[in-house]
Amino acid sequence: MAQVMFDPSLQQDVRLRLFERMVILRRFEKRVYDLFLEGFVKGTSHLSIGQEAIAAGFGEAMQASDWTFATYRGHAHTLSRGVEMAPVMAELMGRVGGLMGGKGGSMHLTSVDHGMMGSYAIVGAHLPIAVGAALSAKYRKSNQVAVCFFGDGTTNIGAFHEALNFAAVYDLPVVFVCENNLYMEYTSIHDVTAVEHPAADRAASYGLERIIVDGNDVSEMYRVAQERLQWARAGQGPSLIEAMTYRHNGHSRADPGKYRPDTEVAAWMQRDPIPAYRRRLELEGVAVALLDEIEERVAVAVDEATEVAKASPPPPADLAWRDVWSDGGWQWRS
């Protein structure tokens, strides 16, 4: 993969925002991991540490009215749409101040006001749902684009194939982004997939371009995101992007990820997207002080969000009975 070491076309403010977005995702999730080990974050949590460039690049490129559909590994995509840290943190802790009042949890982060249309915990389900949003955008001529993020493992479930065909048949404005981190939960994607590139090698089946990008290069992610969003807005139909990346942590919770060879882990740690981008910005002449200031600002924000979340009480009991139905209640008899 050819490395573009200098990208003068990007405005400095865009570059700094890309950097800041990644730093937010990284520092937030490192805190989540600590809080999980301390017992504050309950249940489960799937971190995107190592994969931040994808969410950051798209978050920067998307318009406010565009839609994100993510998986259970959705903290990064939620924050990257501009959702505040504190309600996300509180949701992970099961507090009433959480993004969904504590009713959804880590795997279902949603903020419709930010275009974050949900995090889905059944593999593959949200691809057809994103297709439906795109159908509605096309029907209403609203110029919105649905962006759907999922993993390599998701390319082997039927819903992936149904959704791609469906989107292609009706030329719908949806961008499918496969974050190929080389593993499903604990099994290498290569062991269970008939082709080398689980997403890109299937693109031709649906008349789509074969697109593979370095998912650890945030400016490349930003570029491809802009290009594909534009493609969708121009009425050219869906795109399927395979972004090569790697998760630093295990699949979820405290999984140590022992099924991955040490050399592989070490090689990918060398390709950590955040220090790499920082080095590049420094080479491009961005002042070190400016980058340090971003790091510090984010560190303070994470501390503050943690305190706000910890101070939020558990949800009141009656919340369990709310919003089963659109009338706000749970009654099924009349």
Partner 1 sequence: MAELSYREAVYRALAQEMERDERVVFLGEDVAKAGGVFKATSGLLDRFGPGRVIDTPISEQAILGALMGAAMTGLRPVAEIMYSDFFGVCWDIVANQMAKTRYMTNGQVTIPVVIRSGNGGGLRFGAQHSQSIENWAMAVPGLKVALPSTPHDLIGLFAAAVRDDDPVIFLESKSLYATKDEVADGEIVESLGRARLVRSGTDVTIVTIGAMVHRSREAADRLAQEFGIDCAVIDLRTLVPLDIGTVLASVGETSRLFTVEENPQLCGWGAEVVSIVSDEGFYTLDGPPVRITTPHIPLPAAAELEDQVIPSVDRIVEVIMKRVG
Ligand X SMILES: Cc1ncc(C[n+]2csc(CCOP(=O)(O)OP(=O)(O)O)c2C)c(N)n1
152 forms part of the interface with Mg ion (CB under 5 A): yes
Per the listing, tokens 């600590």 go with: 34
Can you tell me the distance from the alpha carbon of 320 to that of 118, in angstroms, rounded to the nearest whole number? Answer: 20
- Smallest gap from Cβ 225 to partner 1, in A, equals 20
19 forms part of the interface with ligand X (CB under 6 A): no
Give the residue with the Cβ less far from Mg ion, 191 or 327: 191
80 forms part of the interface with ligand X (CB under 6 A): no
Per the listing, tokens 């082709």 go with: 195
Which residues fall within 8 angstroms of residue 183, CB to CB, at 6 or more apart? 152, 153, 189, 247, 251, 259, 260
> What secondary structure does DSSP assign to 32-63, as a single string?
HHHHHHTTSS-S-----TT-HHHHHHHHHHS-
145 forms part of the interface with partner 1 (CB under 8 A): no
Give the residue with the Cβ less far from partner 1, 79 or 163: 163
* Residue count, binding to Mg ion (CB under 5 A): 4
Site track for partner 1 across 202-221, x = CB under 8 A: --------------------
Measure Cα distances from 251 to 135, 157, 300 in Å: 33, 19, 28
Residue pair 333/324 in contact (Cβ under 8 Å)? The answer is no
Measure Cα distances from 185 to 143, 176, 188, 197, 260 in Å: 36, 20, 8, 17, 11
77 forms part of the interface with ligand X (CB under 6 A): no
- Smallest gap from Cβ 331 to partner 1, in A, equals 7
166 forms part of the interface with partner 1 (CB under 8 A): yes
235-294 binders of ligand X (CB under 6 A): 251
Give the residue with the Cβ less far from ligand X, 171 or 255: 255
Structure tokens at 233: 């807005």
The rounded radius of gyration (Å) of the Cα atoms in the chain is 20
| Nearest partner of 228 among 170, 161, 173, judged by Cα | 173
- Smallest gap from Cβ 263 to ligand X, in A, equals 20
The span of 135-143, 149-157, 168-176, 199-207 binding ligand X (CB under 6 A) equals 149-157
Among 86, 116, 121, 148, binds ligand X (CB under 6 A): 121
Burial of 292 (0-12, 13-18, 19+ CB in 10 A): exposed
C-alpha torsion angle, residues 320, 323, 327, 330 (rounded to 10):
-40
69-88 binders of partner 1 (CB under 8 A): 69
185 forms part of the interface with ligand X (CB under 6 A): yes
100 forms part of the interface with partner 1 (CB under 8 A): yes
Name the site residues for ligand X (rule: CB under 6 A).
Answer: 73, 121-123, 150-154, 181, 183-185, 251
Name the site residues for Mg ion (rule: CB under 5 A).
Answer: 151-153, 181
Name the site residues for partner 1 (rule: CB under 8 A).
Answer: 67, 69, 99-101, 103-104, 108, 110-112, 117-118, 120, 122, 124-137, 139-140, 144, 146, 158-159, 162-163, 165-166, 169-170, 319, 322-326, 328, 330-334
